[in-house]
Amino acid sequence: MKILLISGTNHKGSTYHIGRILVNELGAKEDEVKEVFLPKDMPKYCCGCARCFMEDEAKCPHYAYMKPITDSIDEADVLIFTSPVYVYHVTGQMKSLLDHYGYRWMVHRPSEKMFSKQAVCISTAAGGGMKSTNKDIKDSLKFWGVGRILTYGKGVAAISWDGVSDKKKKSIEITIKQIAKKIKKREKNVKPSLKVKMMFYIMRLMEKRGGFNPVDYEYWKAKGWLEKKRPWKNSNN
């Protein structure tokens, strides 16, 4: 099982530790686990040039940073996104990374590899805001076409992992074990949800009418999605 852990900060706090607990519970070999730390591995903000939409993602001025992350996303079976709550939302650096993948949204050029993946969104806070933070990430993953998305938010009443009580840590471990069990049960047998499929068909109708731009239309046409082929049947599961 190949796993990619994307951390919304360089700091290894409570959210990161929970992500690592999940990695360990999934039982992946260490050489099957990759980690991305933000902003270290992607320090640039989207500059709104729209070249990824109108031309090609390789024309993004930050492509050198994005390509290794994109390759790791494509190769992984399970994606784990972790972000502490920053003013009831994801960290700015996590938002910046997701901004760079606007071209991969269903309305543009989704990758068929996403439809057979599982993903987990994890957030923590001393207080609240986990639901809206996880939603920030889940929204993008849903529009990427990710087959199955799970979320976990926890108020840890602390600003560091060392400050989290043993009782809370035990509760976290129990829940993470349950999440890991769900993921392993569906390994190699992931199908997109009905909501994702419905979204695909709505976007397909738009593309058949010409789409947002010629680049998107030609992409869908080349994939055969405007005819009988479907991305969840072309995926590697």
CB 18 within 8 A of CB 82: yes
Give Cα 87 distance to the centre of its chain. Answer: 21
**Beta carbons within 8 Å of 101's beta carbon, 6+ residues apart:** 140, 144
DSSP class of 112: G
d(CA 222, CA 227): 10
pLDDT for 237: 42
Q: What is the average pLDDT across 107-120?
A: 96
d(CA 72, CA 2): 9
3-class state of residue 218 by DSSP: helix
CB 220 within 8 A of CB 165: no
| CA-based radius of gyration for the chain | 18
**Beta carbons within 8 Å of 14's beta carbon, 6+ residues apart:** 84, 124, 154, 156, 158, 160, 161, 164
Q: What is the average pLDDT across 113-130?
A: 96
Q: Give me the number of domains the chain comprises.
A: 1
CATH of the domain at 26: 3.40.50.360
Average pLDDT of every residue of the chain = 95
pLDDT (tens digit, 9 = 90+) per residue, 47-97? 999 999 999 999 999 999 999 999 999 999 999 999 999 999 999 999 999
| Domain encompassing residue 159 | 3-234
